Chain A
């Protein structure tokens, strides 16, 4: 997880700043040569003589609060003046983790936890040593406070800025002792976000806001069928539209460049393109479902096999079986995908809000054939990531358009482009069976998943395709899970919480079916099965108690619960809802989270609320369907999301934890909300919704 770990070629080093001051950063011996002259220096912290301290942030900010949390980690150990600490986004570079430099897998804090605090502590020790030298005392005679080094037993002190130039000449300490949790001043305390003011005044600059000299605004018409190509096109009417500057063909379609976005969009409507739709032109959601059903009839690759499942089923007092399914999902970040690219004789430059800027660089390198050092990537604010802004086509598309058209472009996906040309959370179909003993407790669980894979298969398995199901924490002695990959060219991608986004729904809804069949309370059943997962069990108890699980409800209301451990954290949710006139209204969600050491409680609360809203939007409304190889939805009118008037009250309880390391929070709250809703709906109408979204699959009589 440590993406800043030092290896043989990378080491922490100090450097003097031009004009005075001190930088601590990483030197990397570039792969080809290892002579001292080939060492590349990438600063991490800069301390200027005027006391300004800058953190070079190697993680992008997609809303999860990384800017603030990472500043907190550094400031905690550096003991600097929080008000004088500024930050800037790092360029893409190997030392910052490229090509996988970025934020994904809820790893932003977890991967920076140790290296950032160590860098802060080492810089502090160097500043202390510089002060000790001036005073001619031992370092032990100094201490630090709020950006100053103080001399014990006197009123003498220097500011960090005053010491910075001298500190730059000192060796970097090999080892440092980090604070214990009891010594934290910042970590664990609610801290105002550093990016808030810019975002309230319209000053925060996102990818879509990027402007470079002589830039054109561009949109790209892509084939409505995945994998289709341009056969021929006529752009005469487009070119005649006022403001249109150029029309160029690139590998994925026809791009319109204009002096403003509207002219580009209007001009694009006038394109006359003949497509070669390719082999997917007849694909439909119904056909995909048939393929999945067929796959479930043949054996899959074994993802988990514990105990004697067949014997347990043969001896079972009762059996429960169900088929569950979820649709493709788009990400619909509120800022649609976009990228700005400029290519000239000196190389390529890209500006983007990307979760993994390192992959933008790779995309541009492929298109242009330029080497790594000639492709610069600048990071801007991200208007929502949710897994969509990893690599993606937009970066290579922008680079290719800039290259072919010979001018800088800001390429924008319209919302329609975004919904219809996303890379989707795959649809999944799963067969589940359980065997119960005479007392109604489950003794065996069997599952078979059929969906496209997110990543290359290993031994026939994509771990994400079964994550949250095959790796469940429940003490059911016999368990057997199989996976059958659906090989299809529909583009797929990570979607907030990835495999858990679908599999936790399957697992937790089916577990309630098991509870009902065995005549057990859903909470009682889980508590019994989670004896060996104490943190998750505790989260469940906390949520149930806070929500008043066993207390009477207002008329018409029902509760449901679900829980999961993922991304190093443990989450339980209790939903309270009513079903009125065939509509589900969620009133309240109680969310207990154990995410180990908390960095910024405000951010944890935001991520819990956000993760729940994102999961609830999908659970209630979202579905991408295909017909004639085309995505049928196009914008928020037919691919809606949760709005203010449907927003439940969300009560977040952050569980104090003895775990000294932080768990992930960005994705942790998304998986449990769908099953908690479905379980409460079952309590309300007596039927389990086995296919999402709920709004389209609620039985007619509800």
Chain B
């Protein structure tokens, strides 16, 4: 057992865990943050996607020891109910989810894509999202939602540039 300290959704977090334990199970079973899902345990489905220092990673294959001192964001920290992330807003507008089980991971992959590529093409979306399975078949709505989120993100950036305090 080791004590591992990292930043979780903007807050300092420390946890007692076996260093080899994947971040997925630390989040779900030790910290009771169950928004991040298990689907395969071998980086095949993307249900467990979270951000490590802003990059989308598969938490099922990320040992907790590798997270020490770094920043993790999960779906619970993506936006708040009052201030949804543009990805969540777009997903809501298009009403994407069916069973919803894959959608945490889908949104985390999409948010990471939009952070580095403000206007992804369909081909960019194919590449960034092919690791996220949706057995309910919401892909077409996810694609539309990513394009919509790009618009919402651009609007938010414009609004920020216009606001005198530099904040919306």
Binding site for B on A (CB under 8 A): 61-65, 192-193, 195-206, 208-209, 211, 217, 242-243, 259-263, 265, 332-336, 381-386, 412, 414-415, 602, 606, 609-614, 617, 635-637, 641-645, 647, 649-650
Contacts and interface: CB of A to CB of B under 8 A. Distances in A.
Contacts of A414: 41
Contacts of B143: 644, 647
A612 B1 CA distance: 47
A580 to B, nearest CB: 16
15 contacts: A201-B81, A203-B35, A260-B29, A333-B101, A334-B136, A335-B101, A386-B135, A414-B41, A606-B136, A614-B137, A635-B41, A636-B39, A636-B45, A643-B130, A645-B130
Nearest to B47: A334
A644 B142 contact: yes
B110 to A, nearest CB: 11
B98 to A, nearest CB: 4
A165 to B, nearest CB: 33
Provide the main secondary structure of the chain A interface.
Answer: loop
Interface in B103-153: 103-104, 107, 125-127, 129-143
Q: Which 10 A-B pairs have the closest CB atoms?
A: A202-B35, A613-B137, A63-B99, A199-B100, A383-B101, A63-B98, A636-B44, A260-B29, A610-B137, A645-B126
A610 B44 contact: no
Interface string B46-89: 01000000000000000000000000001110110100100010
Contacts of B22: 262
B18 interface: yes
A554 B67 CA distance: 50
A415 B40 contact: yes
A645 B36 CA distance: 23
B6 interface: no
Contacts of A262: 18, 21-22, 25, 29
Contacts of A384: 99, 101, 135-136
Contacts of B134: 334, 613
A262 to B, nearest CB: 4
A236 B136 CA distance: 42
B86 to A, nearest CB: 12
Given A205-B34, A261-B25, A644-B132, A334 B137 contact: no
B135 A193 contact: no
B18 A243 contact: yes
Contacts of B44: 635-637
A637 B42 contact: yes
Given A201-B84, A383-B101, A644-B125, 13 more contacts: A201-B78, A202-B36, A263-B21, A332-B135, A336-B38, A386-B135, A606-B136, A636-B40, A636-B42, A637-B42, A644-B142, A645-B129, A649-B140
A220 B60 CA distance: 20
A350 B62 CA distance: 32
Nearest to A636: B44
Contacts of A635: 40-42, 44
Contacts of B98: 63-65, 606, 610
B139 A644 contact: yes
Given A382-B99, A415-B40, A602-B95, A645 B25 contact: no
A701 B18 CA distance: 53
Nearest to B85: A200
Contact of A260 (B21, B76, B141): B21
A195 B127 CA distance: 29
Given A201-B79, A610-B138, A195 B125 contact: no
Interface residues of B, number: 61
Contact of B74 (A202, A209, A617): A202
B39 A200 contact: no
B32 interface: yes
B59 to A, nearest CB: 11
Most buried by B among A262, A382, A606, A647: A262
Most buried by A among B33, B79, B81, B133: B133
Contact of A200 (B45, B91, B138): B91
Contacts of A336: 38-39
Contacts of A333: 99, 101, 135
A641 B41 contact: no
Contacts of B107: 200
Contacts of B29: 217, 259-262
Contacts of A645: 126-127, 129-130
A594 B76 CA distance: 40
Contacts of B32: 211
B88 A200 contact: yes
A192 B37 contact: no
A383 B100 contact: yes
Nearest to A669: B137
Contact of A208 (B38, B74, B92): B38
A173 B21 CA distance: 61
Most buried by B among A65, A211, A610: A610
B133 to A, nearest CB: 6
B130 A199 contact: no
B135 A641 contact: yes
A379 B34 CA distance: 17
B34 A609 contact: no
A645 to B, nearest CB: 4
A63 B100 contact: yes
B168 interface: no
A610 B136 contact: yes
A195 B97 CA distance: 8
A201 B88 contact: yes
A202 B27 CA distance: 12
A242 B30 CA distance: 14
Contacts of B18: 242-243, 262-263
B95 A201 contact: no
A199 B139 contact: no
A114 to B, nearest CB: 26
Nearest to A415: B40
B99 A202 contact: no
Most buried by A among B28, B81, B95: B95
Contacts of A383: 37, 99-101
A334 B102 contact: yes
Given A200-B88, A201-B75, A610-B98, A334 B138 contact: no
B92 A196 contact: yes
Given A261-B29, A606-B98, A635-B42, A209 B135 contact: no
A336 B38 CA distance: 8
B27 to A, nearest CB: 10
B129 to A, nearest CB: 4
Contacts of A612: 137
B135 A196 contact: no
A385 B21 CA distance: 30
B153 to A, nearest CB: 16
Given A262-B25, A635-B42, A644-B125, A334 B99 contact: yes
Contacts of A263: 18, 21
Contacts of B136: 63, 334, 384, 606, 610, 613-614
A332 B47 CA distance: 13
Given A62-B99, A242-B18, A644-B142, A202 B104 contact: yes
